[in-house]
Chains A and B, each alone.
Chain A
Amino acid sequence: MAKTIIPIGPYHPLQEEPEFFKLIVEGEKVLGLEIELGYNHRGIEKIAESKSYDQVLFLVERICGICSTSHPFASVNAVEDLADIKVPERALYIRSIIGELERLHSHLLWLGLAGHFIGYNTVWMWAWRYREPVLDIFEKITGNRQHYAMMKVGGVRRDIESDDIPQIWKMVDELLPILDMFKGAVMDDPVIHARLKGVGILTKEDVFEYGALGPTARASGVAIDVRKDDPYAAYPLVDWQVITQEEGDVFAKAVVRILEMYETIKIIKGCLDKLKVVGGEIDAKVKEIPPGEGIGRHEAPRGEVFHYVRSDGSNRPVRYKVRAPSYMNVPTNQKAVVGGTVSDATITLAAVDPCYCCTERMAVVDRKTGKKKLTGQDLIKLSQEKTLRIKREMGRIRG
């Protein structure tokens, strides 16, 4: 049988963002996969260099619409690491609540999309319906359904009033039976078992080889979670577990996300309890950022978000660097998709919960031939030259 190319993207009903997966298939069997990103590059890192530290938070919030607090969260962690700022305890709890509420709505969103990708549109609509109360709570406590703008270097922008606490509590309590329903619908449905079990398997070795993060890694039995491994915010102060599954298939990824929502609710409740007793300031009132460099990490719904910031003592960063989890997770499809069928390819691609706008990297392409002008080696060389130039400018090395 002849080899054909099945394109998934750049515009495809599977994903709402532009990306390109070239499936090389023989009949229904996938023999190879080529991943092309770079349709949506916005140059956010460059823009960040011309913004003040307060503005950078708003900017990085717009990297992604779904995990819109993850980037500011990692960003404040980075700046606080740089300036060695002590954040008031109350602000830590509020940060964790916002981060976990976001995980809740993001996982529900993924669950719905996963249902849609395997043709189960009822799950899609239901999951998104039950996601609405979470967004309503967000609107109530932050003023926005998305892009909450809660993070601030040294604290949070808004307090969670004691009147709001019972409402959040009620919302998560009402979500619990819904989660039980989804858990039953996914974990006990024989057709879903047939569709997802043993599909797109990612072994433990693959996880280490590709550096997979978040639920993608945890579904393969690697208990990697920044919230536990490098505790920050209020995560070490409340009781919760890291969820892992051993199988590494799409089903395990779904199970990890569903069970994680229970842990998330546990964290939210723990933080709300503490909010009732911990009073005081929510802002450390940072005045100056000293020269130096800092890194910040946050366990976003999709895995670890990594932000790097370098300061020269002015009010804006000299260099800003973002690495979103999808950047590590999307290439794992090389292992998970190849060898499967076209039918499984789509759900496997979606199982890492990819977020392309976070992941976009620039590519220089010749318009006539469609060939890439710069290879990976060229880019590394350019990057090294740039580092050398910055070092010279900063007076670290001479000559």
Chain B
Amino acid sequence: MAKTLFYFIVFPGFLFTALVGLLVSWIDRKVTARVQWRVGPPLLQPLYDFVKLLGKETIVPQAGAKLTFLLSPLFGLAAVTIVSTLLWLVMISPKVTFLGDLIVVIYLLAIPSICVIIGGFASGNPLASLGASREMKMVLAYELPFILAIFTPVIQAQGAIRLGDLLQYQWANSIFLNSWSGLIAFVVAIICMQAKLALVPFDIPEAETEIIAGPYIEYSGVPLALYKLTRWMMLFVVPMFLVIMFMGGIVFSGWHILWGILKYVLLLVIIILMRNTNPRLRIDQAIKFFWGPMTILAVVGVILAFLGL
């Protein structure tokens, strides 16, 4: 029992993910700043931001549904924590997990977005509702190609739906990225990941210059801090999920750890590059993009996987 609690609260659960999330968000901000000829924030800036927000007054809008409004950030944070714990436990000892944990992870990864939607609608602000409805459309748009892309490795591994089995399959044979179907699915998954993280060009739900942060507009103080933390942790957890699914995860022995971290950094670089070299799409364009080219590409990946390519 104590061990489980330790897993969830300290390592590899909440504390660890939160700290890495803070670090990763700093890297994101720093690199973005350097790309844009700015100096960028100091290393501890995300922590300062978080602590400062914790000390601020929490304002609940009168028109809002109080309980839903305050609880939704908590659920989002809990979901990310659980995903992170599962992923790391799987990598450390692939045999401990349960059957179907892959499906649980996919579900849990959708929960932060759903919390944003619920929180946005609960705040009773028209801009937040608009942002929440955009978020809802985005979830509907990117989940289909994302799940199809995740199915590709599953098919390659003869229907294994345990993360541990998928990892061991990759360690025994070769990583899924090494095949055509895997490559296609990986590209689709990266783009869907950008949408899941709500970064440019898919930061449509919270478009600052259009609807002023959308669903987050009424949040302040502790709930806003939790949302921010969730976002930073997602920036760590979602790429980690792709590393496990397509790149063989991190092997905990000697220099393999460094190699595993490099895989994550590669994905982080792609994310940062994408977000700095694109303008924001419009919601209808994003939906067309995900249901059109992305879904077709993902289906091609699935078919190729069935053909064993």
Asked if residues A194 and B285 are in contact (CB atoms below 8 Å), the reply is yes
Asked if residues A5 and B36 are in contact (CB atoms below 8 Å), the reply is no
Q: Give Cα A6 to B125, complex, Å.
A: 10
Contact residues of B: prevailing secondary structure: helix
| Interface residue A55 (Cβ < 8 Å from any Cβ of B) | no
| Interface residue A51 (Cβ < 8 Å from any Cβ of B) | no
Evaluate whether A191 and B281 lie within 8 angstroms (CB atoms) in the complex, with A13-B209, A119-B200, A343-B204 already known: yes
Write out, one digit per residue, whether chain A residues 187-200 have a CB within 8 A of any chain B CB (1) or not (0).
Answer: 00101101100000
Q: Which residues of A contact B285 (CB under 8 A)?
A: 194-195
Q: Give Cα A27 to B129, complex, Å.
A: 10
Closest to A129 in B: B37
Other-chain residue from B36, B126, B130, B280 in contact with A122 (beta carbon distance below 8 A): B36
Q: Which residues of B contact A120 (CB under 8 A)?
A: 200, 278-280
Asked if residues B126 and A119 are in contact (CB atoms below 8 Å), the reply is no
Q: Which of A135-155 contact B (CB under 8 A)?
A: none
Q: Which of A115, A119, A126 has the most CB of B within 10 A?
A: A119
Closest to A116 in B: B209
Other-chain residue from B37, B126, B200, B203 in contact with A126 (beta carbon distance below 8 A): B37
CB distance from A19 to the nearest CB of B (A): 14
Asked if residues A28 and B130 are in contact (CB atoms below 8 Å), the reply is yes
Closest to A341 in B: B282
Q: Which of A104-121 contact B (CB under 8 A)?
A: 115-121
Give how many B residues have a beta carbon under 8 Å from the other chain's beta carbons: 31
Asked if residues B38 and A12 are in contact (CB atoms below 8 Å), the reply is no
CB distance from A175 to the nearest CB of B (A): 16
Asked if residues A13 and B208 are in contact (CB atoms below 8 Å), the reply is yes
Asked if residues A6 and B209 are in contact (CB atoms below 8 Å), the reply is no
Asked if residues B212 and A12 are in contact (CB atoms below 8 Å), the reply is yes
Asked if residues B211 and A6 are in contact (CB atoms below 8 Å), the reply is yes
Closest to B199 in A: A119
Asked if residues A119 and B211 are in contact (CB atoms below 8 Å), the reply is no
Evaluate whether A118 and B211 lie within 8 angstroms (CB atoms) in the complex, with A4-B126, A28-B130 already known: no
Asked if residues B278 and A14 are in contact (CB atoms below 8 Å), the reply is no
CB distance from A338 to the nearest CB of B (A): 16
| Interface residue B210 (Cβ < 8 Å from any Cβ of A) | yes
Indicate the size class of the contact surface on chain A: 20 to 34
Asked if residues A28 and B276 are in contact (CB atoms below 8 Å), the reply is no
| Interface residue B62 (Cβ < 8 Å from any Cβ of A) | no
Write out, one digit per residue, whether chain A residues 337-358 have a CB within 8 A of any chain B CB (1) or not (0).
Answer: 0000111111000000000000
Asked if residues B130 and A342 are in contact (CB atoms below 8 Å), the reply is yes
| Interface residue A363 (Cβ < 8 Å from any Cβ of B) | no
| Interface residue B284 (Cβ < 8 Å from any Cβ of A) | yes
Q: Which of B280-308 contact A (CB under 8 A)?
A: 280-285
Contact residues of A: prevailing secondary structure: helix
| Interface residue A125 (Cβ < 8 Å from any Cβ of B) | yes
Asked if residues A343 and B279 are in contact (CB atoms below 8 Å), the reply is no
Q: Which residues of B contact A344 (CB under 8 A)?
A: 282
Q: Which residues of B contact A119 (CB under 8 A)?
A: 200-201, 203, 207-209, 278-280
Q: Which of A77-116 contact B (CB under 8 A)?
A: 115-116
Asked if residues B37 and A125 are in contact (CB atoms below 8 Å), the reply is yes
Q: Give Cα A124 to B277, complex, Å.
A: 11
Q: Give Cα A27 to B132, complex, Å.
A: 12
| Interface residue B35 (Cβ < 8 Å from any Cβ of A) | yes
Other-chain residue from B37, B201, B284 in contact with A341 (beta carbon distance below 8 A): B284
Q: Give Cα A123 to B278, complex, Å.
A: 9
| Interface residue B127 (Cβ < 8 Å from any Cβ of A) | yes
Q: Which of B14-37 contact A (CB under 8 A)?
A: 32, 35-37
CB distance from A265 to the nearest CB of B (A): 22
Closest to B129 in A: A4
Q: Which residues of A contact B36 (CB under 8 A)?
A: 121-122, 124-126
Asked if residues B281 and A6 are in contact (CB atoms below 8 Å), the reply is no
Other-chain residue from A5, A117, A125, A192 in contact with B209 (beta carbon distance below 8 A): A117
Asked if residues A118 and B212 are in contact (CB atoms below 8 Å), the reply is no
CB distance from A294 to the nearest CB of B (A): 41
Closest to B126 in A: A4
CB distance from A203 to the nearest CB of B (A): 22
Asked if residues A122 and B35 are in contact (CB atoms below 8 Å), the reply is yes
Q: Give Cα A117 to B133, complex, Å.
A: 21
Q: Give Cα A116 to B208, complex, Å.
A: 10
Q: Give Cα A116 to B129, complex, Å.
A: 23
Q: Which residues of B contact A126 (CB under 8 A)?
A: 36-37
Given contacts A118-B280, A119-B279, A120-B279, 15 further A-B contacts (CB under 8 A): A4-B126, A6-B130, A13-B208, A116-B209, A118-B279, A119-B201, A119-B203, A119-B207, A120-B278, A125-B37, A125-B38, A195-B281, A341-B283, A343-B207, A343-B282
Complex A-B: 11 CB contacts under 8 Å = A4-B129, A28-B130, A118-B279, A119-B203, A119-B208, A119-B280, A120-B279, A122-B277, A124-B36, A194-B282, A341-B283
